Amino acid sequence: MQLGFKGALTGVLCDRKIPERHKSKIYRVFVRPVAIYGAECWPVTKEIERRLSLIETKMMRWTAGITRLDRVRNDCIWQRFGVTPIFEKMREARLRWYGHVLGTTGDTARKIALNPDVSGKRPRGRPKRRWLDTLHQDLEMARLHPDQAFDRENGANIPGKRTRN
């Protein structure tokens, strides 16, 4: 991911003649979608969230010409670029996907896969993070019941509703 950023977009994003608002738009339109492609289906752990946040912050610092020695907080950089943190965009994508799956009619493969009946015993040790665990955590943070995630009549209450950045 970082190599692709350095190779393809270095000339544009690190050019001091290009205004930061254009760089921010390029980041939001081209770079971030590549980084979180398919994220609505990932069982996201804290480690994955941390790594993606780190990559995003490094890219924005590099684009702005700010180093760690400048002692500028990450929040200030996100605000300067007008960018929502990447993990929040991933949460929106998961909730949007969940609402989409709930809205399908009939027994589609997507809907059946939401509530799998798996027989047998789980292996010893700590259970691995599952997609449903991540989804339930997202629903808690959005203060929603799983049945409220898909509500066409009250579209404003849908947490995965598309936002600008």
| Residue 150, burial from CB neighbour count under 10 angstroms (0-12, 13-18, 19+) | middle
Give me the number of domains the chain comprises. Answer: 2
For residues 110 and 64, membership in a common domain is answered with: no
In a domain, 79, yes or no: yes
Is the predicted pLDDT of residue 161 greater than 70, yes or no? no
Full-model pTM: 0.76
Q: What is the pLDDT of residues 66-124, one digit of tens each?
A: 988 999 998 898 898 888 899 999 999 998 888 888 888 778 888 877 777 778 888 89
Rounded to an integer, the average pLDDT of 146-157 is 60
Can you give the pLDDT at residue 112? 78
| Residue 126, burial from CB neighbour count under 10 angstroms (0-12, 13-18, 19+) | exposed
- Residue-number span of the structural domain to which 135 is assigned: 89-116+128-157
Is the predicted pLDDT of residue 25 greater than 80, yes or no? yes
| 3-state secondary structure at position 89 | helix
Can you give the pLDDT at residue 100? 85
Is the predicted pLDDT of residue 163 greater than 60, yes or no? no
